[in-house]
Amino acid sequence: MYEQASHALLNEILAGLRPEIGKFRLRHFYTRLGANFYAIYSLFKLLYGDRPDFKQQMVRLVETLALRYMERTPALRKSDLAREVNYNWFLSQKWVGMALYCDRFADNLQGLREKLPYFQELGVNMLHVMPILDCPLENNDGGYAVRDFRKIDTRYGTLKDVEELAATLKSREILLVLDVVVNHTSDEHEWATRARQGEKKYQGYYYVFDNRETPDAYEEGMPEIFPVTAPGNFTWDEPMGKWVMTVFNNYQWDLNYRNPAVLIEMLDIILFWANKGADILRLDAVAFLWKKIGSTCQNEREAHLLLRLMKDCCQVTAPGVLFIAEAIVAPGEIAKYFGEDAIYSKECEIAYNASLMALLWDAVATKNANLLNLGVKNLPNKLERATWLNYVRCHDDIGLGFDDSDVVLAGYDPTLHRAFLVDYFTGKFPSSPARGMPFGTNLKTGDARISGSLASLVGLESALESEDEEAINAAINALTLLHSIILSFGGLPLMYYGDAVGTLNNLEFLSDPATQHDSRWVHRSRFDWEKAEKRHQSGTVEQRIFSALKKMIALRKELPAFADFDNRHLLLVENQNLLVFYRTDPENCRSRVLVINNFNIEPQSLPVDTLTPHEFYVYESMTDLYSGERVPVEDGQISIPALSFYWLKD
């Protein structure tokens, strides 16, 4: 868009750029800058237009974009151009992801390169390597308290190792996902250290206060994220003699994005990792980017403006790189991180579908899909060029953040139902086979979240201990059913390392003072490669799980109907134990897949006359693509076995 004021400023900025920038051929950079500059200028002015140094900060911003573009390798620039042409590339059904800790999966980055055949065997082609940046040995929040944003923790390797991993992954058509923690730093970061030493410039990078007056005003509206281990949202720093905002932990200082220098620094860091070969960057804790007295300091309008600005700037320098919004917020808020008032994503192309994850676990505990159907029906719409990241398990706890109105419609009391779910998954509920642990229990409200490996939560651990073959089968079926949904639902399925071989809880974390207070480490164990080798031994639990997931992944990649182009249609059926939907090939409306999921521990029936109006079961039977068997109609019904799924096609 051409607009006089912004383009006059752009001309002025370009004329005053550093001389060395003008020596490079930057044709594509200037084209993209011109196309995006009005949006960049407008957003920057909304956020910082009242500052006397507005123009100088704009110059710094554009110089940062240009300098990072100059560092971008020819191979990465070529990839950018290809993805600009095929701009919906990530909506394809061929992508299947896995998240892992580098050290716990393969010791270090070099070891991870050696383990790539494992992912290729399973069919995984998107690798989320959890935080690997330099952090303190203690007080590191599992890698999310970063001490140096441009340095790899020596335990994992070097920057060269990252570049070599990225190049190897690219040669095998595997995407690399890396984290950038945009909300806070470690209190050992250079910025924090210099703030402690009294440098006003770096004190301006954080929220620091001389007394409790302003912090107390903030606290009135701010919830506590970790009420047990990190109560409150401010910490007194004795060397600095000031209060500092610490929303997550007292050693994680929140960055102050009211200061444009902070935005430019973090944007520079984002582009730094884009230039190291990351295809996708996971932006951590984006809901917290803007703090405002009188609010919860989450999901503020300015946080969305910041993300739009980051995305517009990234599209200038590295347009082939996608953003994941790590925003575990209410269902009505999460879709806003794709970008509001737009057809195409203008913030993050990908967002965690935390609501679906929580709803799936509710269905496991209740043995029905009542709340799941309501929640899926009310999932917010995404934008056309955006997609959900669907997962059963991740490195974090399981929150129970479904919409209370849906819980009531399902016939439950929200408070009592959440208490039941916590009891069920921590094994306190009678007859529950789950072996989870509570996390983040709020002693004031009684709220809690859940930790535990997927296999232990679905009952595999207790079944193996009791040597109950029927219970083992049920646990494997539940694990397979959950994965079948994230693979067929629409979006990017993200698996968690260890789940494909049935990794159980690991209690070693209790003996480590650095982790013993955090039950999430129960499902962050070291990958057992001896156990994983059993995936090749017929009849073992590991082989049964691995082969089932491998088969589903391969089948998913062959089904264009499983691509994500708003082509999912939910069918609300009377049998509340079932989740039923169908997917349509976006290029061939006659090619469809009917997906039926049974969460009950007993076989369930579905009247065929609920399906024929949608032109399914016209010929009295359909083929289950997963098993290859025909599923016939008997007495006007089709039967769905306990804890199972169908992917049906004429």
**Torsions phi, psi for 3 (to 5 deg):** -140, 130
Dihedral sign of CA atoms 246, 248, 251, 257 in order: negative
Report which secondary-structure segment, H or E, holds 228: none
Residues 326, 396, 406, 585: which is the catalytic one? 326
Residues 153, 284, 403, 461: which is the catalytic one? 284
CB atoms within 10 A of CB 524: 22
398, 449 Cβ separation under 8 angstroms: yes
326 is catalytic: yes
Longest dimension (CA), the chain: 81
> Could you tell me which of 44, 58, 37 has the C-alpha nearest to residue 305?
44
Q: Which residues pair with 631 in a beta bridge?
A: 622
CB proximity list for 2: less than 8 A, separation 6 or greater: 38
Report which secondary-structure segment, H or E, holds 428: none
- Write the DSSP string, 560-623: GGGS-SS-EEEE--S-TTEEEEEEEETTEEEEEEEEEEE-SSS-EEEEGGGTGGGT-STTSEEE
Q: How far, in Å, CA of 44 to CA of 36, rounded?
A: 12
Rounded to 10 deg, the angle between the 27-48 and 301-317 helix axes is 170
284 is catalytic: yes
Q: How far, in Å, CA of 326 to CA of 4, rounded?
A: 36
Report which secondary-structure segment, H or E, holds 186: strand 184-186
What distances in angstroms separate CA 318 from CA 29, 69, 338, 373, one per listed residue? 9, 7, 18, 39
> Could you tell me which of 64, 129, 463 has the C-alpha nearest to residue 268?
64
Residues forming the active site: 284, 326
